[in-house]
Structure 1
Amino acid sequence: MKKLIAGVVLGVGLTAMAHGAGDPQAGEQNAAVCAGCHGQNGAKPIMGAYPKLSGLGEKYLYRQLVLIKDKERNIAEMTGILDNMNDQDLQDLAAYFNAQDMVVGQADPDLVDQGAALYRGGNMATGVPACAGCHNPQGVGNEPAGYPALGGQNAEYLVKQLNAYRDGARDSGANASIMMDVASKLTDAEIEAVSSYISGLN
C-alpha cells in the first residue's frame, strides 16, 4: 500500500513538473508592468486589439514570451519590456497569468451560428479543420501540446492574429505552420465569424 501511495504522489509530482516550472507568486511581481496594456491580472486589456493573457495556458504563454524576448515574434508595443527578464522570470510570468480567470465576452448574435459551425466542424469544402480539434470544444486549449485556450479572447485580437497568420506576418513558434495553413484557407467573413464566436465561448 505504501508503494502504491508513493507511486501516486510521485506521479502527481512529475505531472505538475511537466505542466509548468513557473511560480505564480513570483510572476505577480513582474506582472505589474503588463497591466498598462493587458489590464489587471491580464484579463481586461485596454484595447480590443490587445490579447487577454489570463488562463491561456502556461506552456503557450511561456513559449510566446520567449519568442518575443528573442525578437522572433515582433510586437512593437512589447519592445524592451522583457529584456531584463531571465528564463525563470518568463516561466513565473506565464504561470501567474495562466492562474488568472479568463473574462468571457459576448459574441455577436448574428455571427454565432456561422462561427460555431466553423469552430466545431471546420469547412470541409475548403479544407479548414475544426478549431475544436486543437483548442478543445469548450475553448480551453490543450496544455501539454501548448495549444492556447481561446474561449473568451478578444474578437478584435483574434481577427488580427488570424490575418497575421494568413499574411505570413506571424510565422514564429512551434505551431505557426499549422496556423498559417489553416488561416490561408479562411475568408474574411469566416475569420470575423469564428473570432466573434470564440470571444463568447465559455
Structure 2
Amino acid sequence: MKKRITGIVLGLGMALATAAHGAGDPKAGQSNAAVCAGCHGQNGAQPVQPVYPKLAGLGETYLYKQLQHIKAGERQIPEMTGLLANFSDQDLLDLATYFDQQQTPIGKANPDLVKKGEQLYRGGNLASGVPACAGCHNPQGLGNEPGGFPRLSGQHPDYVVKQLKAYRAGDRSTGSMSQIMMDVASGLTEEEMEAVASYVSGLH
C-alpha cells in the first residue's frame, strides 16, 4: 500500500504544480464569503459546529478543488446544496484564496491522546501499513500547497474524525487524492482516528 500511495502522491504533485495558485482575488473572495459564515464562522476560522471544517489557512489549491467538486455535485454535502450554483469558477478561486489567507486558531489536544496521536502522525503504523501523516501534511501540519494537501494544524478533531470515517466507508471518494486517504483510513481503528485527530487540533 505504501508504494501505491507514494506513486499517487508523486503523480498528483506533478499534476497540481500547474494549478492556478495565486490567481485568485482575496478581496473579491471576501465579498462572497458571507454565505459561508453561517456555518464556518467569521473568516472561516470558528465553525458553529465542531463537525464543520475551519476553512482559514486550509490551502488554496485544496479549497479550490473541493469547491469545484461540491458545486459539481461530485462531493455531496447536504448543508451546501445549491449554495455554489451561481458561483463562477473564478468566484470559487477567489473564495479559496481569501480563506487561505486567514489565520487559523489552534486548538488543544487531549493530553491522554497526545502520545498515540503523535506516533501515528509522525511515524504511522507499520503493522497495519498506515503511513505517517506528516509525509503529506507537513511535520507541523501546515499542509503542502503545491501538492494540494490541506492544512491539518488547528482543525477541529470532530471534523477530522468525520472525514476519516467517510474515507474509510468510501463515502468521500471524489478526485484522485481521495484514493490516498481511503487507503490510509482503511487501516485506522476508531481509537487511532480519535487520537490523531486530537493531536492535529493542537499541532503547530
4+ residue runs over 3 A deviation: none
Q: Deviations over 1:53-94 (max 9, x none)?
A: 000110000000000000000000000100000000000000
Structure 1 counterpart of 2:51, one-letter code: A
- For structure 2, the residue ranges without an aligned partner over 5 or more in a row are 1-16
**8 Å contact kept, 1:20–1:59:** no
**8 Å contact kept, 1:105–1:154:** yes
Match of 1:170 among 164, 169, 172: 172
The offset of 1:154, in angstroms, is: 0.6
**Identical residues among aligned pairs (%):** 66
Q: Give the 3-state SS of the residue equivalent to 2:161 in structure 1.
A: helix
Question: Match for residue 21 of structure 1?
Answer: 23
Q: Give the 3-state SS of the residue equivalent to 1:117 in structure 2.
A: helix
Question: Match for residue 44 of structure 1?
Answer: 46
| Structure 2 CA distance for aligned equivalents of residues 173 and 58 of structure 1 | 16
Match of 2:134 among 128, 132, 135: 132
> Any residues of structure 2 matched to 1:1-202 within 5 Å, and which?
19-202=21-204
The offset of 1:18, in angstroms, is: 5.2
Q: Deviations over 1:22-65 (max 9, x none)?
A: 11011001101100000000000000000000001100000000
Q: Give the 3-state SS of the residue equivalent to 1:84 in structure 2.
A: coil
The offset of 1:161, in angstroms, is: 0.1
- For structure 1, the residue ranges without an aligned partner over 5 or more in a row are 1-14
Report the aligned-residue RMSD. 1.4
Q: Deviations over 1:80-118 (max 9, x none)?
A: 100000000000000000000011111101000000000
Q: How many residues align?
A: 188
The offset of 1:173, in angstroms, is: 1.8
Q: What TM-score, normalized by structure 2, do the two folds share?
A: 0.90
**8 Å contact kept, 1:165–1:176:** yes
Q: Give the 3-state SS of the residue equivalent to 1:175 in structure 2.
A: helix
